[in-house]
Amino acid sequence: MTRAPERSRPAPPTPSPAQAVGRPLDRVDGPAKTAGLARYTADHHVPDLAHAALVHATVARGRITGLDTADAEAVGGVLAVLTHHNAPRMTPPAPVSALDLSTLAPGTTVDYLNTDRVHWNGQPVAVVVADSPDTARQAARLVRVTYEVEPAVTDFAAAQDDAVPLRGTLLVLGEERTGDAERALATAPVVVDHRYTTPAQSHHAMEPHATVAVWNGDRLTVHEGSQDVDWARRHLARRFGVPLAGVRVLSPHVGGGFGGKAPVWAGTVLTVLAARATGRAVRMVLSREDVIRTVGGRTPTVQRVALGAQRDGTLTALLHTGVSQVGRVGGTPEPVGSQSRHLYAAPHIWIRHSTTTLDVLPTAHMRAPGEAVGTFALESAVDELAVALGMDPVELRMRNEPDRDPLDGKRFSRRDLRAAYARGAERFGWAERTPSPRSMRDGHWLVGRGVATAFHLPVRLPADVTVRLRADGTVLVRCAFHEIGVGAATAQTQVAADALGVPVEAVTVEHGDTELPVGPQAGGSGQTASVATALLEACEELKRSVLALARRSPSSPLRGRRLSELRAGRGGLYRADAPDRGETYGVILTRAGRAEIEVRTAAGTRLGRTLQQARAAAGWFRDRRRWVRAVTGAHFCEVRVDEHTGEVRVSRWLGVFDVGRVVNPKTATSQLRGGIVMGIGAALSEETLVDPRTGRTVNPGLAEYHVPVQADLPRIEVDYLDEPDPTTPLGLLGVGEVGITGVAAAVANAVHHATGVRVRDLPVTLDRLL
Amino acid sequence: MRPFTYLSAPDVTTALRAIATEPGARLLAGGTNLVDLMRQDVERPTTVVDISTLPLDEVQELPAGGLRIGALVRNSRLAAHPAVRSRYPVLSQAVLSGASGQLRNMATVGGNLLQRTRCPYFADGTAACNKRDPGSGCAAIGGFHRGSAVLGTSEHCIATHPSDMAVALVALDAVVEVQSLRGTRRIPLAELHVLPGDTPDVETALDPDELVTAVELPALPVAASSRYRKVRDRASFAFALVSVAAAMEVADGTVTAARLALGGVAARPWRAHLAERALVGAPATEEDFRRAATAELATAVGRPQNAFKIELARRTVVATLHQLTTEGGAA
């Protein structure tokens, strides 16, 4: 529900010291990581380890006509050169089905090394296995491949005209409309109608993709930097035709994912294949170039946003269409209109998505797919409308802040963007901004300030959790969720500690291993809330079991009590009405002769899991019919632009977010700040350059693909409303992706304010400002 | 990377003998560029001659007032050297604007001069590149060339020389001392790098058997009032789109001495003689600075993605010279 900013609101309750949720605790994995003890995939040494390297196709489309591997095989230390001539056969990937989301696991449909077809410039066409990584790489250079080249579509700009509108499905956002946006535009007194473009972007997580594969008969153990170990396990079991139970994927620490480690890409499959073929344990650590050529990134987009408004700023029409690219052999469309369905109270809205198909590496999800680039277009257009109306851009947004979802009138589970903007404007000193472009300067720096709205729809996924309570008062939480650097284990430690009333030090969390109960993917900003939901259920169940034990004892002060009459705290259960009456878990378990007690959510059986998934899916659809559950935020940005050279420097940043309850302000702030940094990179410098003549990426490394360096970043301030969502357990929503959304628009809007130049094509490089 | 023979040269003569007798030999100093190119299979030396321990790492005062900088002086040390900072601030600033602290700790003066272009097609063995593979063509023309050259290009190559240090050195009339088994000779830095013409694979005036042993800076009073301005896509750790090394003296509103060079615009650090001639004797006004820059850039040829460099160079020259007149040469 929206509320007027001037209406006073009760301050969020300050958590009591006993409460762990809401406290900025240090990460539980901090000491191991700072001491270099945390083992990432590439750190795994196993006996008799061999190393693999990829050979990439150098044409965009065609057929392999010749493979000369003699020179590579002659290199001392080379164990095998695998090609489609000699590689073991695999089962092709399963067709995508909404009933089994793990069918989304493969990043492409290519049957690597089981086919002579080439589908993109960079597709792996051979793998060299050797006794050292250097030897493997050197030999990979010596593999000579000849092709019968076929015509290829590799130029996104030229292929836009062939874009096909998408039909909406459970997994894909298609077309949505209310009213008649085009007619409303035609009659609107004030209209802005522009085309915006965003470039392709590549995944550059700190840790490149890496895999260690060990076969033992038909049993397979894989160490893998993964955002979805369950997908990886299921996909590998299928491809290699072995029982699911025999495949174990371990991923305890992941050096960043951003969506790029959710699918299973060629490197993973081919490492396992290489191990199968050679009978050796094999490790492959992708080079930066390997990552860029085999791991899908964000599609380029071209978008049109048209806004119609009354002279007082009331929106009458909102049109947002976008074209994104997919590969011929896979890829995910970018739902750029996602936020435009929910952000503004226009009576006439038309959202449409189209895709065009290219012979390039399939696109994939990258942090806030859809909103990250969709907000650039929408929030730039809103700024352009504010300029056209002579209105303050914050005031224009607040004038059009909806009470209910603009498309279908659903309620928002919570939404207080007004409060976020009000707090942000005050903290940032927005009122000091003089509205005219080029009206603020500091020496030769033109100073500009801009705002933009952040928006994201966190997902909710099923999770299996076990919780084990021991007589010594310690707790073990087990769930195969993923620590991709965000503090996931720390957050669940806090949730469990509060739910059971034990100190955080008593809680250990195991994660990132398919031997554990199945967890959710680290994606869609949903992992923390999804696991926490299951964990809270399990803790309730655990307390019921403990109480049942206590009630058997005539001497227990809990005898005859119901759980609802008790509070968990001080390492046990105590009466709410008489807090000194109760017992520690240790006393209860010891008296019952139990060393430990464990509960798990969901059945461990296949049927149990199917039922649980069905229940979760039904709940999700029910929720989706009832309300829009979204996180929002207000970005305030100041840039300085050199009046001579057009160099842009971001000099101040404040983001105020409405993300529900915050479990750990320290790690959540880091995540939101990281999103803002990534957004600044997208705004100012990031761009994957694909040569339209060849379909080949010409900047496959961090030297030429410019992410922000420290000197590009100001101090980034992050603030929250920190109010619980009333529809979720603990009031959690999700913080992983919302940070990046709106950032590029805030920068471009500030650049316009500084210079008077409107840049509608990312990145905002200085040549666009000369 | 391909296997190679590694030779650690105990003295200069050994190094000279190795490069004189082995056509596939390459010299290794800091290794910050050579090793990358070997990993990319662009450089394929049969022998790597490690010269990093040779006694060429001194900065010495010259009797006539200049400095002699050993070819193996690390970039970090050069930038921090008190004489460089006080008498040639443009050089210190240029070095510090390049690469990162870690790279500057490794990179040497000689290696910096002889580093290769960062044109992406040069580094990609599958692309046409007349510099890497003579006669194969130039993929940058008609491809991605936003960072490419606008001065002194040819239809065969539009690559730039990436060094910042060299831009300052060429403005300072530096001279390069080179040795071979045949003897020692001195080459003005302005003549060390050659324009591509129809042989872009020939990048310098050095013969294959020659080793850069030192760079000499003449006494140059105007250099005390000098600046380096680098314009790039991010605040640090990026190559120049355009850079300007400038030194200037002004008396009674008139320019009495000027040294000017441009980086990021050509296959060599571009000494702007035409602009210098226009500046000296003219009033020290922005209008005159612009006129001088325009004279230098008259022959510049822009292509669709890099034409902006011409205007950017003009503006950066004007802004840098203006800053020199108003704020002097302090960093």
Q: What is the pLDDT of residues B276-324, one digit of tens each?
A: 999 999 999 999 999 999 999 999 999 999 999 999 999 999 999 999 9
Q: What is the pLDDT of residues A581-620, one digit of tens each?
A: 999 999 999 999 999 999 998 655 666 667 776 777 777 7
Indicate if A499 and A575 belong to the same structural domain: yes
From chain B residues 306-325, the ones with a CB under 8 A of any chain A CB are 308, 311-312, 315-316, 318-319
Residues from A contacting B (CB-CB < 8 Å) are 58, 134, 137-138, 141, 444, 644-647, 649, 684-685, 689, 691, 693-694, 696, 698-699, 703-704, 706, 708-712, 765-767, 770
Indicate if A612 and A661 belong to the same structural domain: no
Predicted local confidence at residue A634, as pLDDT: 98
Domain boundary among A623, A640, A661: A623
Length of chain B: 331
Q: Which residues pair with A323 in a beta bridge?
A: A302, A354
Residue in A645, A691, A703 nearest the CB of B316: A645
Report yes or no on A604 lying in a domain.
yes
Neighbouring CB atoms inside 10 A of B46's CB total: 13
From chain B residues 198-227, the ones with a CB under 8 A of any chain A CB are none
Indicate if A477 and A606 belong to the same structural domain: yes
Q: Do A684 and B234 touch (CB under 8 A)?
A: yes
Indicate if A481 and A588 belong to the same structural domain: yes
Report yes or no on A724 lying in a domain.
yes
**Domains detected in chain B:** 1-52 (3.30.43.10), 56-331 (3.30.465.10)
Q: Do A709 and B41 touch (CB under 8 A)?
A: no
Report yes or no on A672 lying in a domain.
yes
Tokens of A378: 């929408």
Report yes or no on A663 lying in a domain.
yes
Indicate if A726 and A741 belong to the same structural domain: yes
Domain boundary among A584, A606, A623: A623
- Note the ipTM here: 0.97
B273 in reach of chain A (CB within 8 A): no
Average pLDDT, chain A: 94
Our answer to whether residue A737 is catalytic in this structure is yes
Asked whether residue B260 carries a pLDDT value surpassing 70, the answer given is yes
Indicate if A545 and A642 belong to the same structural domain: no
Indicate if A495 and A412 belong to the same structural domain: no
* Distance of residue A73 Cα from the nearest chain B Cα, in angstroms: 14
Asked whether residue A10 carries a pLDDT value surpassing 50, the answer given is no
Name the phi and psi angles at B126, rounded to 5.
-90, -10
CATH of the domain at A606: 3.30.365.10
Q: Which residues pair with A199 in a beta bridge?
A: none
Q: What is the pLDDT of residues A506-533, one digit of tens each?
A: 999 999 999 999 999 999 999 999 999 9
Q: Do A767 and B315 touch (CB under 8 A)?
A: no
Measured CA to CA, the distance from residue A389 to residue A407 in angstroms comes to 25
Q: Which of A384, A686, A723, A737 is catalytic?
A: A737
Contacts of A769 in chain B (CB under 8 A): none
CA nearest to A703 within chain B = B238
Tokens of A39: 């083992």
Burial of A731: CB neighbours in 10 Å, binned 0-12, 13-18, 19+? buried
Asked whether residue A4 carries a pLDDT value surpassing 70, the answer given is no
pLDDT-based confidence at residue B198 (cuts at 50, 70, 90)? very high
* Distance of residue B11 Cα from the nearest chain A Cα, in angstroms: 30
Residue in B121, B124, B236 nearest the CB of A709: B236
Domain boundary among A590, A623, A656: A623
Count of domains observed in chain A? 2
Contacts of A647 in chain B (CB under 8 A): 231-232
Report yes or no on A94 lying in a domain.
no
Q: Which domain holds residue A2?
A: 1-15+370-375+397-458+629-770
Indicate if A731 and A766 belong to the same structural domain: yes
Tokens of A383: 């700024």
Predicted local confidence at residue A14, as pLDDT: 42
Indicate if A473 and A572 belong to the same structural domain: yes
Q: What is the pLDDT of residues A199-242, one digit of tens each?
A: 999 999 999 999 999 999 999 999 999 999 999 999 999 999 99
Q: Do B3 and A691 touch (CB under 8 A)?
A: no
Report yes or no on A243 lying in a domain.
no
Report yes or no on A634 lying in a domain.
yes
Length of chain A: 770
pLDDT-based confidence at residue A98 (cuts at 50, 70, 90)? confident
Q: In this predicted model, which residue has the larger pLDDT, A617 or A75?
A: A75
Q: Do A691 and B311 touch (CB under 8 A)?
A: no
Indicate if A405 and A529 belong to the same structural domain: no
Indicate if A575 and A474 belong to the same structural domain: yes
Indicate if A514 and A534 belong to the same structural domain: yes
Close Cβ partners of A614 (under 8 Å, ≥ 6 residues apart): none
Quick one: average pLDDT of A483-508?
97
Burial track A389-399 (b if 16+ CB lie within 10 A, e otherwise): bebbbbebbbb
Close Cβ partners of A686 (under 8 Å, ≥ 6 residues apart): A199, A201, A705, A706, A707, A763
Report yes or no on A56 lying in a domain.
no
End-to-end C-alpha distance for chain B, whole angstroms? 41
DSSP state of B59: E
Q: What is the pLDDT of residues A247-263, one digit of tens each?
A: 999 999 999 999 999 99
Predicted local confidence at residue A96, as pLDDT: 86
Residue that has been written with the tokens 């894909």 in this structure: A172
